[in-house]
Chains A and B, each alone.
Chain A
């Protein structure tokens, strides 16, 4: 065995998990000193990642009581993964969409598991791609108050970001929720005029419009959108 082989076997056993406690501890220390070992470990992690991807997901416990809860914005938050249904839905949407713009999109819906008087908060992320402006959107379904917080959204000279909502029971036509005034600040919008179920199923969008908003009352500029998805079960 060459030295390279020795390193690759040690790294491979480390990633597989077959080292005993003492060997693991030694490897943990060695990888910090030895870039070749570190690189070999990272290479094995990538090689074997498909095996991790093939392990069935299991719904995780609510972070409500745990250490993680302290880091979350809403203590009652009990997120559930809705990516699967979401991805299928948006793949259909992508097929339906015209080729006018190429936008990336991420939307993640989280919801409270147990009904509570307050705090039924949903989160969605509206973003074109990793290098683009992004907006974190939260909706409290009980009070029907929406907050949009731009992150990494620089000022756009002569342009305005405009917020939209589109609901099935109103023909899916986007309605303006107004402009996002200042990048960096939280914009709050009441949604009380819409009923809870409609908001839960609505599509939210943000488009870049001429200063002062869309002249037509419909999105005219590059848009990205997300949906608060009700998870199954």
Chain B
């Protein structure tokens, strides 16, 4: 086992003598810049690097693969078309791309008749199991912080926020879920959002 690991590392070491190596995330900026310049190779690399993440998010909201496939295509068409408008000062590339994906998926799910409540899975634990190992390294601090603020909400408010964000549930669906009228859900959302904002800070743009 040790010997195999040595062999596997050998070629890396050959060149690494000259280069310390850091993780990949910063270069999404580069790939987006090249995509803005209509560089198709860069775009395919961008697709390879990000499509599993965006697809996971879209599928979670839309549930149906046939619809999710279509929406994913549209999302990458939008990314191709709007890459030039990405502004690094306003956030990380992946945040920008996730926003495009979620907005497109949410537009779709709001346009359709609401998904039946029977389809709604239990809200899943936010701890480790769902995390992508790569994200865990880079994002653990931010997740821990958000988790801490979510923990400070009443337990059903925390679930409310998670169901809304991850499953894309409407106020009506949330109302059925919690056996409350939509107006109550609206006021829960309002208070939860303000509490979260105050916990996380006003200036995190």
Which residues from chain A sit less than 8 Å from chain B, CB to CB?
5, 8-9, 12-13, 15-21, 24, 39, 42-43, 45-61, 63, 66-68, 71-74, 77, 79-84, 86-94, 96-110, 123, 125, 127, 129-130, 134, 136, 138, 149, 151, 164, 166-168, 171-174, 202-203, 205, 207, 219-225, 227
**What are some 27 contacts across the A-B interface (CB < 8 A)?**
A5-B194, A9-B193, A12-B193, A18-B171, A43-B202, A46-B205, A47-B197, A47-B200, A48-B165, A54-B131, A55-B57, A56-B132, A67-B73, A68-B47, A71-B40, A73-B41, A81-B49, A96-B9, A104-B22, A105-B19, A105-B24, A130-B30, A136-B42, A172-B13, A203-B15, A207-B18, A225-B16
Chain B residues, Cβ within 8 Å of A125: 27, 30-31, 42, 45
Q: A84-B132, A89-B12 are in contact. Are A43 and B18 (CB under 8 A)?
A: no
Chain B residues, Cβ within 8 Å of A20: 110, 170-171
Q: A50-B146, A83-B134 are in contact. Are A219 and B55 (CB under 8 A)?
A: no
Chain B residues, Cβ within 8 Å of A103: 18-22
Q: A45-B91, A53-B143 are in contact. Are A136 and B41 (CB under 8 A)?
A: yes
Q: Are B14 and A97 in contact (CB under 8 A)?
A: no
- The main secondary structure of chain B at its interface with chain A is helix
Q: A46-B205, A125-B27, A134-B30 are in contact. Are A108 and B48 (CB under 8 A)?
A: yes
Q: A94-B22, A101-B20 are in contact. Are A59 and B91 (CB under 8 A)?
A: no
Closest Cβ–Cβ distance, residue B167 to chain A (whole Å): 9
Q: A50-B143, A149-B41 are in contact. Are A59 and B110 (CB under 8 A)?
A: no
Closest Cβ–Cβ distance, residue B122 to chain A (whole Å): 15
A79 and chain B: residue at smallest CB distance: B48
Closest Cβ–Cβ distance, residue B70 to chain A (whole Å): 8
Closest Cβ–Cβ distance, residue B59 to chain A (whole Å): 6
Q: Kindly identify, within residues 4 to 49 of chain B, every residue whose CB is under 8 Å from any CB belonging to chain A.
A: 7-24, 26-27, 29-31, 33-34, 39-45, 47-49
Q: Pick the 8 closest A-B CB pairs, nearest first.
A: A172-B10, A79-B48, A60-B51, A172-B11, A12-B193, A57-B52, A166-B11, A106-B27
Q: A24-B107, A92-B9, A101-B18 are in contact. Are A58 and B56 (CB under 8 A)?
A: yes
Interface residues on chain B, number (Cβ under 8 Å) = 101
Q: A164-B15, A166-B15 are in contact. Are A130 and B27 (CB under 8 A)?
A: yes
Q: Kindly identify, within residues 101 to 156 of chain B, every residue whose CB is under 8 Å from any CB belonging to chain A.
A: 102, 106-107, 109-111, 126, 130-135, 137, 139, 142-143, 145-147
| Extra pairs beyond A51-B126, A56-B56, A61-B55 (16, CB < 8 Å) | A53-B132, A55-B56, A57-B53, A66-B69, A81-B52, A90-B23, A91-B21, A96-B16, A108-B24, A109-B48, A136-B45, A151-B39, A203-B11, A219-B15, A219-B18, A225-B19
